[in-house]
Amino acid sequence: MPITVGQDTAKTRKTLSAGGQSVAYYSIPAAEAAGLGDFSKLPAALKVVLENMLRFEDGKTVTTDDIKAFAEWATQGGKNPREIAYRPARVLMQDFTGVPAVVDLAAMRDGIKALGGDAQKINPLNPVDLVIDHSVMIDEFGNPRAFQMNVDREYERNMERYQFLKWGQGAFNNFRVVPPGTGICHQVNLEYLAQTVWTDEDQNGETVAYPDTLVGTDSHTTMVNGAAVLGWGVGGIEAEAAMLGQPISMLIPEVVGFKLTGAMVEGTTGTDLVLKVVEMLRAKGVVGKFVEFYGPGLDHLPLADRATIANMAPEYGATCGFFPIDAETLRYLRQTGRDEARVQLVEAYAKENGFWRSADYDPVYTDTLELDMGTIVPAISGPKRPQDYIALDKAARAFGEYVKGIRSGSDVSPQAENRWEGEGGAPEPVEIPGDEGHHKRGFVTTDEHKYQMHDGSIVIASITSCTNTSNPYVMIGAGLVARKAREKGLTRKPWVKTSLAPGSQVVSAYLEAAGLQDDLDAVGFNLVGYGCTTCIGNSGPLAEEISKCISENDLIATSVLSGNRNFEGRISPDVRANYLASPPLVVAYALVGDMNVDIATQPLGTDRDGNPVYLKDIWPTQKEIADLVEKTVTREAFLEKYADVFKGDEKWQSVETSDSETYDWPASSTYVQNPPYFQGMSKEAGTISDIEGAKVLAVLGDMVTTDHISPAGSFKDSTPAGRYLLDHQVPVREFNSYGSRRGNHEVMMRGTFANIRIRNEMLDDVEGGYTLGPDGQQTSIYEAAMAYQDQGTPLVIFAGEQYGAGSSRDWAAKGTALLGVKAVIAENFERIHRSNLVGMGVIPFEFTGGDTRRSLGLKGDETVTIKGLESVTPLAELPCEITYGDGTVKTITLKCRIDTAVEKEYVENGGVLHFVLRNLAKSA
């Protein structure tokens, strides 16, 4: 489908010849010549947005004042929060967030027909790629059968979802599906889909070149910024609006410049660098801002490392972490199989239009910070936040302090001897390094082993996630650590569940070409699948005897993974402390099996002759890694593995589905159900109503993430979601995960705020999704919300700082709305979740004047009234009347985080999709 450019853009439209073709483009220098302002000092990331304004200037949605605002940004110290309408070139989805998005599109087709419109109006106008990467679980590991058995199980669990996605691929225009077992969406995007400079025909049939841009329904869409492709995560509802032709309403962002100098030293990795970057930027405070990396250090930073840094933008809180186009960008595009004509176009376009990072690149930034990469040391982050940076030589001591903090005042004496059931009695207790009497112990027996487990036993070691498996330097490094360990006779400890889940098949190609997969297999890191796995909580069950030992002895079990997220309750319900590390360190930790061991200085084990083996003995040099990368990571491997990327294997090709215009919703399905959003919808929008007499559903603390809010991971039969599935004859073995059931609102609303680690401050020392119902008794949040809905009582939530941090999970907002919550009142919000709440018609409010949930002494028995919403303007301050349980009344002022006029329209309509649906119905 051709792009529709603006009608007032002739003065900035020019022609460029490169790579054997002649293309039109929208010239920033031409805009300067036309008197629209001086844009020469803009950061490259902001020039991408400026080009978008030039291309879509129409005098209405985008005006010359919008364009001039970018020049004013540069002269006003990198600040000009003007509202603009931005249109990304394409949309990227994964299946967890993509299934509910396609469900919404299918429901919109039903909805528009009910309003008298044409179902074919509901079609993506921008290209949409959905990569199925979130569904594979690690049921089998540590053996040659693991990959095939996990794939087979994936299809058994998810056939209903895959049939639905295949229907969507056929029913909707401009919509492609990358089948299971191909790779992780961000890695497929980086290695294949992204072009850095995009080309398409406009409405006049002329070829136009413009920067490749996108939004994605996953927060780590930011990874592709490493290849100078501007992209970030949005909720599914915002992505749906974008694919249906709605511009993204945003404020011209501030841009923080991060200057990199020096070069990485021997023994360090790109993972060590990104963990330090995350710590620094979290401390700086970059929520809602662009971060652009610049400086001479980029000359020594491979694109794989840049992508690792860009990937973790959600962890440091930024909208994106952008790297400008330079010679390294071109090298990577060539190596990964892009056409030579495309690479030449990228270079010519970047130099012609001011996007090229040359030696004198020195733009204006809103603020800056600097890091000498020569100061980076090996590190990990944890135990429950990505920004909790720990130098490797301090990790064991830090873990000991963490345990001490948890165990202080509790009975820390070993308990397991009293419950030992193995033959021959319990093994002798093993000394725990650094233990000062705070650690608990337990004992396990299997057919092959008897061993002690204790606080700090590493039960999961996983090379996983787009963050690091896209980086051949750390993957080859992990393989070399495995090779050297194997040569010395070391292998994983028997209680460690090891796994290797690459982000693309190319990784397997170069590991096999280097002969390293055999070495990884030998120490337990067999291929388990191509997908996100452990990083999103699909780590699969631990061995029953290990899980039992952890629970019976209340052990603080740990995981080490090469991912980007380690929030509480995310990785495994059996694991309390989670650490992010480079793939080589994941292998090393699997060998030692214990977070209490200082692997920087203490032995990992002993070789065949009984000699101690240290980390330095098995750590490869940078030259060893670079030589193997040069030899095995080839253009030919990328061309081969992506040749039939949309075709899939025989299993995918055999998935049967219908070719109907609208979806025939299976009544018996527990995976895909028609959501209630558009049922009984009127043709006209209403107004925003005041919130009167609302009750408090939850009082939550700081850093409540979308992992806490949105249903994620596994769940038990005793939960509201589990009881729903049991009522629908689904056995516990077939529960799958919350993520896989995002197409069924009945499951998802029951799992909202049901995270096992969430703490509702209305209750004393209670973890999990509980609150007080209308009768004052403790019950599940879902059951309380339904009881309040039956009474017609609106609900509000109070929270602390950084509410909604983490993944771009639209179900964190959808579930909130379906529970009947009308407003969330917090100290501040993370960008994506605030937008998602507005997109679902839930109003975000922020405290003002120093008020917080703590200063107000909230207990949860309050009644809340917020007036002035019928005539509210963006970012207005409104009075909020709180009536306490004892009858005391206090009025405070809240800032309404409906940020723009367009967002106000969304809320008036009941949400962004309602807004789009009504407009499409009217246009018919």
Q: What is the mean pLDDT of residues 814-827?
A: 97
- Residues 87-110 have pLDDT tens digits of 999 999 998 888 888 999 999 999
- Residue 157 has a pLDDT of 87
Q: Which of 72-76, 486-490, 919-923 has the lowest mean pLDDT?
A: 919-923
Does residue 140 have a pLDDT over 60?
yes
- Mean pLDDT for the stretch of residues 615-627: 97
Which are the contacts of 898, defined by CB distance < 8 A and separation ≥ 6? 838, 843, 844, 872, 874, 875, 904, 907
* Cα separation, 898 vs 316, whole angstroms: 24
Res. 415: pLDDT tops 70? no
What DSSP assignment string belongs to 214-251?
EEESSGGGGGGGGGT-EEEE--HHHHHHHHTTPPEEEE
Give the DSSP letter of residue 541.
P
Percent of the chain at pLDDT exceeding 90: 78
Mean pLDDT, rounded, for 602-631: 96
What is the distance between the alpha carbons of residues 874 and 903, in angstroms, rounded to a whole number? 8
Q: Is residue 397 pLDDT above 80, yes or no?
A: yes
Tens-digit pLDDT profile for residues 246-300: 888 888 999 999 999 999 999 999 999 999 999 999 999 998 899 999 999 999 9
Q: How far, in Å, CA of 784 to CA of 770, rounded?
A: 9
User: Does residue 410 surpass a pLDDT of 70?
Assistant: no
Q: How many whole angstroms separate alpha carbon 752 and alpha carbon 781?
A: 8
Contact 713, 819 (CB under 8 A): no
> Could you tell me which residue, 136 or 879, shows the higher pLDDT?
879
Residue 412 has pLDDT above 50, yes or no: no
Token pair for 115: 């309003």
Q: What is the mean pLDDT of residues 669-674?
A: 93
Q: What is the mean pLDDT of residues 389-407?
A: 94
Task: List alpha helices for 296-453, DSSP H.
Answer: 303-311, 313-316, 327-335, 340-352, 395-407
pLDDT score at 785: 98
Query: What pLDDT, on the 0 to 100 scale, is given for residue 8?
Result: 64
Q: Report pLDDT for 860.
A: 93
What is the signed CA dihedral for 638, 641, 645, 649, rounded to 10 degrees? -170
Average pLDDT of every residue of the chain:
93
Identity of the amino acid at 602: Q
pLDDT of residue 238: 83
Range among 119-123, 216-220, 268-272, 911-915 with highest mean pLDDT value: 268-272
Matching residue, tokens 């789009």: 916
Among 160-164, 532-536, 791-795, 866-870, the minimum mean pLDDT is found in 532-536
What one-character DSSP code corresponds to residue 189?
I
To the nearest whole percent, how much of the chain has pLDDT over 70?
97
Nearest to 558 by CA among 612, 599, 594: 594
- Amino acid code (one letter) for 875: L
Average pLDDT estimate for 530-545: 89
Residue 135's pLDDT is what? 84
Q: What is the pLDDT of residues 376-388, one digit of tens each?
A: 999 999 999 999 9
Contacts of 765 (CB under 8 A, 6+ apart): none
Task: Give the β-pairing of 441-445 and 863-866.
Answer: unpaired
For residue 425, is pLDDT > 80? no
Report how far apart, in Å, the C-alpha atoms of 807 and of each of 212, 312, 813 are.
Answer: 23, 11, 12
Q: What is the mean pLDDT of residues 43-58?
A: 97
Radius of gyration for the alpha carbons in the chain, expressed in angstroms and rounded: 27
**Residues 535, 465: Cα–Cα separation, whole Å:** 6
Q: Reply yes or no on whether the pLDDT at 430 is more than 90.
A: no
Tell me what pLDDT residue 6 has. Answer: 74
Contact 133, 94 (CB under 8 A): yes
pLDDT at 418: 36
pLDDT tops 60 at residue 446: yes
Check residue 429 and give its pLDDT: 80
Which domains are seen in the chain, by residue range?
Answer: 10-84 (no CATH), 90-375 (3.30.499.10), 379-637 (3.30.499.10), 691-710+752-923 (3.20.19.10)
Q: Residue 183: which of 172, 193, 173, 197 has the closest Cα?
A: 193
pLDDT in tens, 555-614: 999 999 998 888 887 899 899 999 999 999 999 999 999 999 999 999 999 999 999 999
> What does the pLDDT look like over 206-229, one tens digit per residue?
999 999 999 998 889 999 999 999
Beta pairing partners, 232? 215
Return the pLDDT at 763. 96
Instruction: Give all strands of the β-sheet with 207-211 in edge-to-edge order.
Output: 13-18, 21-26, 207-211, 197-201
Reduced to 3 states (helix: H, G, I; strand: E, B; else coil), residue 442 is: strand
What is the C-alpha separation between 12 and 536, in angstroms, rounded? 45
> Could you tell me the two tokens for 620?
């490869």
- Residue of 669, 449, 682, 402 lying closest to 549 (CA atoms): 449
Query: Read out DSSP for 610-636?
Result: S-EE-HHHHPPPHHHHHHHHHHH--HH
Peptide bond into 383 cis (omega under 30): yes
396-415 average pLDDT score: 74
Q: Is the pLDDT of residue 449 over 90?
A: no
Residues 393, 399, 405: CA angle, nearest 5 degrees: 140
What is the distance of C-alpha 85 from the center of its chain? 24
Residues pairing with 578 in the sheet = 559
Structure tokens at 267: 């023994």
Q: Please state the rounded mean pLDDT for residues 420-438.
A: 69
Per residue in 231-251, pLDDT (tens digit) is 999 877 888 888 888 888 888
Which of the two residues, 73 and 430, has the higher pLDDT score?
73
pLDDT digits (tens, 9 = 90+) for 761-805: 999 989 999 999 999 999 999 999 999 999 999 999 999 999 998
pLDDT at 262: 97
- CB 526 within 8 Å of CB 146: yes
CA-CA distance, 138 to 921, in Å (whole number)? 45
Distance CA 516, CA 568 (A): 33
Q: What amino acid occupies position 685?
A: A
Over the stretch 482-517, which tens digit does the pLDDT of each residue have? 999 999 999 999 999 999 999 999 999 999 999 999
- The answer to whether the CB of 451 falls within 8 A of the CB of 441 is no
| CA 835/CA 571 separation, integer angstroms | 26
pLDDT band at 424 (very low <50, low <70, confident <90, very high): low
Average pLDDT over residues 200-206: 90
Strands 691-699 and 577-580: unpaired
Q: What is the pLDDT of residue 436?
A: 72
Query: Would you place residue 922 in the very low, low, confident or very high pLDDT band (cuts 50, 70, 90)?
Result: confident
Residue 90, helix vs strand vs coil: strand
With tokens 């040391």, the residue in question is 377
Give the pLDDT confidence score for residue 416 in this predicted structure: 35
In a 3-state reduction of DSSP, which class is residue 114?
helix
**Predicted confidence (pLDDT) at residue 398 exceeds the cutoff of 70:** yes
Residue appearing with tokens 């204006």: 364
Tokens read off for 783: 């059951």
Question: Quick check: 667 and 789 in contact, CB under 8 A?
Answer: no
